[in-house]
Amino acid sequence: MFLEQVELNTVGQYLSVFLPASRVYWLYLVSAVVLAFIAYHQFNHDHHDDELDNEPEQKKSFLGYLFDKDVYLHRSTWQDCKFFVVNALVYTGVVSQFLIGMHGLALIFNLGLTNLFGPLDEPAITNEFSLIAYTLLSVIAIDLGVYLTHRAQHHIPALWEFHKVHHSAEKLTPITLFRMHPVDLFITSLVVSILGGLAFAGIFYLTNEEPQAMTLFGLNIITFLFYIGGYNLRHSHIWLNYPVWLSKILISPAQHQIHHSVDPKHFDQNFGLIFSLWDQIGGSHYIPRTREKLSFGISRKNPNPFNSVSDIYLMPFANVGRMIGKSFQNPQHRVIAGLSAVILVIGYFNVSGAINRQVILSKPQSVHLAKLTWTEVDKALKNGYDTVLIPTGGIEQNGPHVVLGKHNIVMTRTSHDIARTLGKTLVAPVIDYVPEGAIEPVPDGHMRFAGTISVPESVFEDVLKATAQSMKAHGFENIFFIGDSGGNQKSQEKVARLLQSQWEDQGILVGHIGDYYSANGQFKHLLERGYTEADVGYHSGMRDTSEVLFINPEGVHSLVVQNPEGSPSGVSGNPDKASAKIGREMVALKVNAAVKQIRSLMDSKKPASDDKWKIDLTPDEEDALAISGRAE
């Protein structure tokens, strides 16, 4: 496996020009050529002939200027190419496999946030906001990580010995990007992973779902725009400077060329990758006002001390070794260094082990089967996710004010919360084709209202059976039917009993979670709060409307029930007393009732003995429910 990954990583580096995630992807190179063409003609337009005498390269054709032989045939450029070929194997193929990945760190950080502050009862931010927030926050975190590491590499002598490999390029080309010592790359990647992982974990904690960024070609859209906006001119001889106002926001290619300059006035300037904010805060921001003639390398006297690729790898270690040797002349330094090395090694392997365990045992990206790939479900099953909920809803009338998919809206949210609370539990898609009344010869029940969809009881039961059989075939050992509609309860109970009797000797538990619907305490809770039975009602009244207001307010089109003239409203209860606050309480009661019953069933590993789907109603209540023909 290790050797296979080495081969995959190395070949991937060689094929960088075909990979959108690579900074030298062909599209980014093409965009750099376009911007170079504009810069070339802009310079000719802005200068007179006498000025051009001092810029002989501008008298060349564009292609001659773009592919300047003094640049591309220089010894430094060929050294870049040879190092690229070797380092694709050394770093990308081998060393990078020992990095602690950002995703693994993010899972550890998220676990820490949960342990520190406790799990959130509900997402603190919406999915739409989290998409925008993570798109920006992830780029800011990575950019800050690059800046902090880059600055440290210039100011800490031991790190500078490795980083000056990059600065030893005497000519800049896009391939110079890869002229970085493996130690340099490793440290930068580690810091970036830590800060990127913190950004990921923060959004993950606030949403309870792994965050996603807006992407283009599979790349964060901000990063994509940065790459296509002339990134490859940063390492080039082509001068592309931004207006001053823009240079105070973004690092231009010219500003990065300034960073590579051997002119002492340019030393330790413009450490940033994308944003210039960090350099402005750190006092290292340099904006060139006009075009500056630059020479590159480590210093004017000795721009490139590396005579070969082996020198690039070994000389930094030798220089750092000499530094350590001088420091080791002090006995105290030897003790401190030894202890530090031991702590670092132990810490690295402990963190790596913790991350590996967390990744192995980590939650799937979602509890909903429909949002997972088959490999993610397979991994979850192997990691102990042996319980599945089969939720049912319906497409039925819910008065003139609540959408037909009310039960599906509520069931999607409550099944999610139940699964998260139970742990090791996944959720099948909500079954929304359920019995809603006779279709012909004369529609009854909810079928008397436009938009309702109904299926026969036998069809519904067959769907329940087939779904449970599918879950059993995949390896789920605890299968629970749970429905948000009263008319679904009897069939769920019937199928659960049938399958439990067939599968009990195989160690499979099948149950109907009737407490979710009929023993959740909602009615009693609201009566104790001072509401009347008429207020609470039984269908699309105060309770149902409140639940939808809490979960998805767009599902409630009005709190004022306006009946079509001569038609029933389809409502039992008083929707105008509904609120999102009440909805939160109603959802919590349903979730708690279901979790309690499921845990009881799993503790006993016995089938549900539950006929609580049937609700005892007074004659008045039965009259109130006559509008639908079902105990809803």
pLDDT above 90 coverage of the chain, percent: 61
Indicate the pLDDT class of residue 186, thresholds 50, 70 and 90: very high
More confident residue, 2 or 474: 474
Asked whether residue 630 carries a pLDDT value surpassing 60, the answer given is: no
Reading the block at residue 102, the tokens are 């950002």
Give the H or E element holding residue 479.
strand 478-483
CB-side neighbour CA atoms (13 Å) of 147: 24
Q: 68 by DSSP, 3-state: which?
A: coil
Asked whether residue 353 carries a pLDDT value surpassing 60, the answer given is: no
Reading the block at residue 388, the tokens are 């599945």
Indicate the pLDDT class of residue 568, thresholds 50, 70 and 90: confident
Instruction: Please give the pLDDT value at position 211.
Output: 87
Instruction: Please give the pLDDT value at position 346.
Output: 67
Between the CA atoms of 512, 513, 517 and 519, what dihedral angle is there, to the nearest 10 degrees? 120
For range 323-336, the mean pLDDT: 74
Give the strand pairing for 425-427 and 387-392. parallel
Indicate the pLDDT class of residue 39, thresholds 50, 70 and 90: confident
Tens of pLDDT, residue by residue over 139-152, are 999 999 999 999 99
Indicate the pLDDT class of residue 340, thresholds 50, 70 and 90: low
Q: DSSP letters along 485-509, please? A: SGGGHHHHHHHHHHHHHHHGGGT-E
Instruction: Please give the pLDDT value at position 540.
Output: 87
For range 613-628, the mean pLDDT: 42
For range 450-476, the mean pLDDT: 95
Tens of pLDDT, residue by residue over 208-248, are 778 889 999 889 999 999 999 999 999 999 999 999 999 99
User: Of 101-110, 524-533, 560-569, which range is least confident?
Assistant: 560-569
**Nearest alpha-carbon partner for 180 in 261, 69, 96:** 96
For range 395-406, the mean pLDDT: 92
Asked whether residue 159 carries a pLDDT value surpassing 90, the answer given is: yes
Between the CA atoms of 162, 163, 164 and 167, what dihedral angle is there, to the nearest 10 degrees? 150
C-beta of residue 429 within 8 angstroms of C-beta of residue 389: no
Residue written as tokens 């950080």?
A: 109
Indicate the pLDDT class of residue 349, thresholds 50, 70 and 90: low
For range 362-374, the mean pLDDT: 83
Tens of pLDDT, residue by residue over 237-258, are 999 999 999 999 999 999 999 9
C-beta of residue 163 within 8 angstroms of C-beta of residue 170: no
Give the whole-angstrom CA distance, residue 543 versus residue 129. 28
Asked whether residue 355 carries a pLDDT value surpassing 60, the answer given is: no
Q: 33 by DSSP, 3-state: which?
A: helix
Instruction: Please give the pLDDT value at position 1.
Output: 56
Order of all β-strands in the sheet with 509-512: 425-427, 387-392, 478-483, 509-512
For range 39-60, the mean pLDDT: 59
Asked whether residue 393 carries a pLDDT value surpassing 50, the answer given is: yes
Asked whether residue 194 carries a pLDDT value surpassing 50, the answer given is: yes
Q: Which residues contact 443 (CB under 8 A, 6 or more apart)?
A: 437
Q: 137 by DSSP, 3-state: which?
A: helix
Instruction: Please give the pLDDT value at position 480.
Output: 97
C-beta of residue 401 within 8 angstroms of C-beta of residue 560: yes
Indicate the pLDDT class of residue 330, thresholds 50, 70 and 90: confident
Instruction: Please give the pLDDT value at position 155.
Output: 95
More confident residue, 48 or 2: 2
CB-side neighbour CA atoms (13 Å) of 390: 28
For range 386-404, the mean pLDDT: 94
Asked whether residue 48 carries a pLDDT value surpassing 50, the answer given is: no
Give the H or E element holding residue 215.
strand 215-216
Tens of pLDDT, residue by residue over 270-307, are 999 999 999 999 999 999 989 999 999 999 999 999 99
Strand partners, 539: 572
Indicate the pLDDT class of residue 162, thresholds 50, 70 and 90: very high
Asked whether residue 608 carries a pLDDT value surpassing 70, the answer given is: no
C-beta of residue 435 within 8 angstroms of C-beta of residue 491: yes
Reading the block at residue 458, the tokens are 């036998």
**Nearest alpha-carbon partner for 418 in 202, 551, 589:** 589
Instruction: Please give the pLDDT value at position 356.
Output: 52
pLDDT above 70 coverage of the chain, percent: 86
User: Of 186-195, 326-335, 474-483, which range is least confident?
Assistant: 326-335
More confident residue, 309 or 109: 309
Reading the block at residue 318, the tokens are 């030798």
